[in-house]
Amino acid sequence: MEQRYFIVDIARCWGCRACQVACKYEHGIPAGGGKPVEVIRVERQDTSGQAACDFLPVACQHCREPACMACPRGAIARDGEGLVQLDQEKCVACGLCVSACPYGALHRYPGEAGQRVWKCDLCVRRRGMGLPASCEQHCLGGVFTSCTQAEMERITGERKYRWSAGRVVYVSDFVASLGKGLG
C-alpha cells in the first residue's frame, strides 16, 4: 500500500473552522466532544509592527514516533499507509493515549459509558471510497491536500518553509505564519 501524507498550507487558512465542523459531522461527534481538528488563532505583530493574526489547523500528526502508542491494549498502530489508527474494538478507554499525545489530538466521547477515545484517522473510510478527507473537501481556502509521498515531496519542495512531526506536513511561503520555528 502506498504511504499517505497530508499537507496543511497554513498561509491559506483564514480561520473559518469549516474543517472542524466537517470532521465532527463526518464522524458523528456530539457537541462538547472535543475538536478533531482545532484551528488555533496565533496573534502576532507583522513586519511593520501592526497587529496581525494567523490560523493554524492542528489535528493528529500521525507522528514518526507516536507517544499515543502507549496504549497497553495495542489499540493504536500504524496502518498500511503509515498512518496512526485507533482500533475502537481494542480500546478500553484507559486514557493513557490521551494524556501521552503532545498535540492534544486524542479525545473522549462525552457522556458515553467508558468514555470511548477517538482521533483523526484522515477519513480512512471516505478515502476507501475514493473521496477526500472531510476537512479537505469542505475547506473553503484549500488548506488541506492528501497525497502520496512523491506528491508530498514535489509540493513541499516548491515551498519555502516546511515542518512536520510525522505524516502531516505544514507548509508556507512566508515565515511570519509561525515565527522562526517553521523551516
Instruction: Answer whether 183's CB lies under 8 Å from 163's CB.
Output: yes
pLDDT digits (tens, 9 = 90+) for 4-25: 999 999 999 999 999 999 999 9
Query: Over the stretch 145-172, which tens digit does the pLDDT of each residue have?
Result: 999 999 999 988 877 788 999 999 999 8
Centre a 10 Å sphere on the Cβ of residue 73 and count the other Cβ atoms it contains. Answer: 13
Average pLDDT of span 76-92: 92
What strand order describes the sheet that includes 144-148?
144-148, 4-9, 168-172, 161-164
pTM of the model: 0.85
For Cα atoms 90, 125, 168, give the angle at the middle one, nearest 5 degrees: 85
Matching residue, cell 507517544: 67
Q: E-strand spans in 17-139?
A: 38-45, 51-58, 76-78, 84-86, 107-108, 117-118
